[in-house]
Each structure stands twice: as structure tokens, then as C-alpha cells.
Amino acid sequence: MDWSWLPEYSGMLLYGLWLTVYLLVTSCIFGMLLAIPIGLVQVTGPWPLAWLAKGFCTTIRGTPLLIQIWLLYYGLGSLFPSIPWIRESFMWPILREGIFYGVLALTISFAGYEGEIMRGGFMSVPKGELEAARAFGMSRFTVLHRIWFPRAFRLVLPTLGGEVIGQLKATPLVATITVMEIFGVSSKIRQDTFRVYEPLIFVAAVYFCLTFVITRIFGWIERQVPQKR
């Protein structure tokens, strides 16, 4: 085992770690914001939107994430440069970077999986609780944000923790579109130093530590959220 390369690449590794966390947090936040209405509309309708949401979840879950990333990066990424008003817009510096497509693909993927999980969570809330709330004169919106969504979120919370860990393990796929997160940095180290095992062991240890932190965070959240409201 030779770790003499570690001090030289410590800066790149720290940047790669920050980028990995950024990809994870950003995609999970935006993905969850999409998943909530996707799950809700499958339960409440109307049926055209429910079928559209169901088709979205089925498509995302039924196709490999790597293909989704490549379709966005090599598809949209190749189309945008040919559109003059996009090249001249303030968004072009963002749209030409691989990290934009990485975040977009990860967000869509997370929304597809979590949308179906949220659907199950909404359906698992006893209808009697919702009917009782309506009987007390609560509006649909009040029932949703005070009873239905909190109960559904509590039900899916253990599953959500596992999905976030799965999302973390999906982030290395963006290294295939030139995004230098921590796995991409380890690939560069292997190319530069011809050391195969040490960079991979180091990165595996980093992912293990991040997984441990995520597990503890969700464990703490589960203890804070009451079982019943």
C-alpha cells in the first residue's frame, strides 16, 4: 500500500467530496419537491394528471440512470449550442456545464422513485382521519398540510433514508459526463499514479462515512417526529 499521493491530491479530493455532497443535497431537495405533488396527484386525480404522473414514475424507474444522464448530457447538451438565443442568454454558462445535467438527471430520478413512495404514503393514511378533519370544517389545504402530508411523511421516513443513501451511491455516475466529484477524482488519481486499490479504498471509506452520517441524521429525525399527531 502506497499513500504517498494523498497529500498532493488532498485539495482535489476535498473539492470532489464537496461536489458529491452538493449533488446529493441539491438533487434530493428538488427531487422531493417534485415527488410530493407527483405522489399526491396519483391519489387525488384528476385522472389525466394521475396517469401522467404514473407514467413518469414508471419510465424513470424502468430505465437505467446512466442512460438518463447520457440522454440529457449528449441530447440536450448537444441541442442547446445550436439554438442562438440560448447561447446568448445568461443561462448559457450553466447549460454548458456537465454538473447541470448531472443535477437534473439525479433530481428527475429521485423524483420518480420518491413520487411512487409518496403515493404509497398518502394512500396509507387512514381515510377516517381525513374525513374527521373535514367534519371539523377544515379546508382541503388545511387537511393536507396539517394532517395528510405529515402522517404520510412519517410513514415513508424510514424508506426515504434508504433512498437518500441509494442516491448517494448513484452520484458516481455523473463522472461519466466530466463532473469531477470524488469518484471522478479517484479515477484521475489512478490514471496519474497507476495506483488502483488505494484511491478506490479511500473513496469507499468516504462513501461509508457519508452513509453513516445520513443514517444517523435520519435516525435523529425519526426520533423527533412523533408517531401520531
Q: What is the DSSP letter of 227?
A: S
Residue among 196, 178, 182 at smallest CA distance from 5? 196
What's the pLDDT at 200?
A: 94
User: Which CATH number covers residue 56?
Assistant: 1.10.3720.10
Is the pLDDT at 24 greater than 70? The verdict is yes
Per the listing, cell 458529491 goes with 20
Q: Is the pLDDT confidence value at 225 over 80? A: no
Mean pLDDT of 141-154: 86
Stretch 87-112: mean pLDDT: 91
Mean pLDDT of 106-124: 94
Q: What is the pLDDT at residue 79?
A: 87
The position carrying cell 473539492 is: 15
- Residue in this structure with the C-alpha cell 463522472, named with its chain if needed: 175
Q: Which phi-psi region, left, alpha or beta, contains residue 64 (left: φ > 0; alpha: ψ -120 to 50)?
A: beta
Task: Give the three cell numbers for residue 168.
Answer: 448517494
Residue 184 is assigned to a structural domain of this protein: yes
Report the pLDDT averaged over residues 171-194.
Answer: 93
Q: Is residue 162 pLDDT above 60, yes or no?
A: yes
Q: Which of 25-39, 54-68, 146-160 has the lowest mean pLDDT?
A: 146-160
Give me the sign of the Cα torsion angle 61, 64, 66, 72: negative
- pTM of the predicted structure, to 2 decimals: 0.91
Q: Is 229 within a domain?
A: no
In a domain, residue 107? The reply is: yes
Over 60: is that where the pLDDT of 65 sits?
Answer: yes
In a domain, 3, yes or no: no
> Is 187 part of any domain?
yes
pLDDT of 125 above 90 = no
Asked if the peptide bond before residue 46 counts as cis, ω within 30 degrees of 0, the response is yes
Question: What is the torsional sign of CA 85, 87, 90, 92?
Answer: positive
Reply yes or no on whether the pLDDT at 229 is more than 70. no
Per-residue pLDDT at 136? 81
| pLDDT surpasses 80 at 41 | yes
Rg (Cα) of the chain, in Å, rounded?
21
d(CA 174, CA 158): 26
Q: Which residue has the cell 440536450?
A: 76
Domain around 34: 10-224
Residue 227 reports pLDDT greater than 80: no
Predicted pLDDT at 147: 85
| 183 in Cβ contact with 17 (< 8 Å) | no
Query: Is the predicted pLDDT of residue 130 greater than 70, yes or no?
Result: yes
| Domain count within the chain | 1
User: For a pLDDT cut of 70, what percent of the chain falls above it?
Assistant: 98
Is residue 2 one of the residues assigned to a domain? no
Is a pLDDT exceeding 60 seen at residue 107? yes
